[in-house]
Amino acid sequence: MRGPHSRPQCTPAHQAGALLLVAVTSLLTRLLSAPAPPPPFPTPGPRLPAAADHLRVYVYAEDEVDGLRVLLRGRDGSVSAATCLKGQWGTQVKIHQLLLRSRYRTLDKDEAHLFFVPSYVKCVRMTGGLTDKEINQTYVKVLGQMPYFRRSGGRDHIFVFPSGAGAHLFRSWATFLNRSIILTPEGDRTDKRGISAFNTWKDIIIPGNVDDSMVKPDARAVQPIPLMKRKYLANFLGRAQGKVGRLKLVELAKQYPDKTGCAYVL
């Protein structure tokens, strides 16, 4: 018989029970302390068509905004797109026509990333269709009717100014187009103004227009020398205007017609 202070014996059954208790405790501790499993992934929605990933550009129609047709055709509507295809300012027409046919064009302003504002003002001005004052007034009138232009401050609107004058053709460009994207071939030109209208942070230099007769394989005005045979390559599009450097180029073209591959117009 055991006394009151005798210690109970640790039998094999006790040892097995203790080990089982330790194992169960360890298992429960791991289960309770482990992070909850992530929720199942949601079922993917319908995949958008590939075209939805493309850049979308809205092109303003000439009869959509009062005054826009004037910037394209002149005050009396007599200036044609065919007329404006000639000369350096032909890029205004070609870029416009290119975007009208582009697969990136959208007819929905709300899904557009960029907006193209067509205008042939350089050509219209040169043909007497508008004066500088009329160009300025008409631009201000047109922009005032464009809610999407006001929405972004013009940041997503594109304008083409295809000559050395650049955006200075629109006298109030610094007020209205200071945030817009300007495409122009001569970014360093101020056209006798105090500052240049070109901003390297937003504007883009584009090539000057080359007349179709110079590049169409079936109706070339000149037969260009293959690139591999050219020591120098240069391009000039404009008028001599009595300037010494330009007159020298014309003289060289006449003197070496078999080496320059040039077409010149006085």
Examine the domain organization and report whether 164 and 240 are in the same domain: no
Domain count, the chain: 2
Q: In whole angstroms, how large is the CA radius of gyration of the chain?
A: 36
- Residue the block writes with tokens 């032909």: 90
- Residue the block writes with tokens 């068509």: 49
> Among 52-56, 106-110, 255-259, whose mean pLDDT is lowest?
255-259
pLDDT bucket at 222, cuts 50 / 70 / 90 = low
User: Can you give the pLDDT at residue 247?
Assistant: 79
What one-character DSSP code corresponds to residue 243? -
CA-nearest of 68, 95, 82, 80 to 185 is 95
**Domain span holding position 239:** 221-260
Cβ–Cβ contacts within 10 Å for residue 147, how many? 8
Q: Is the pLDDT of residue 223 over 60?
A: yes
Q: What is the pTM of this model?
A: 0.68
pLDDT bucket at 221, cuts 50 / 70 / 90 = low
CA-nearest of 152, 151, 150, 155 to 140 is 150
Examine the domain organization and report whether 200 and 231 are in the same domain: no
Q: Is the pLDDT of residue 196 over 90?
A: no
End-to-end Cα spacing for the chain = 135
The type of residue at 180 is: S
Give the residue-averaged pLDDT of 254-260.
Answer: 70
What one-character DSSP code corresponds to residue 63? T
Examine the domain organization and report whether 119 and 239 are in the same domain: no
Q: What is the mean pLDDT of the chain?
A: 78
Examine the domain organization and report whether 154 and 248 are in the same domain: no
Beta strand 57-59 pairing with 114-116:
parallel
Examine the domain organization and report whether 73 and 200 are in the same domain: yes
Examine the domain organization and report whether 61 and 85 are in the same domain: yes
Examine the domain organization and report whether 139 and 254 are in the same domain: no
Q: How many residues does the chain have?
A: 266
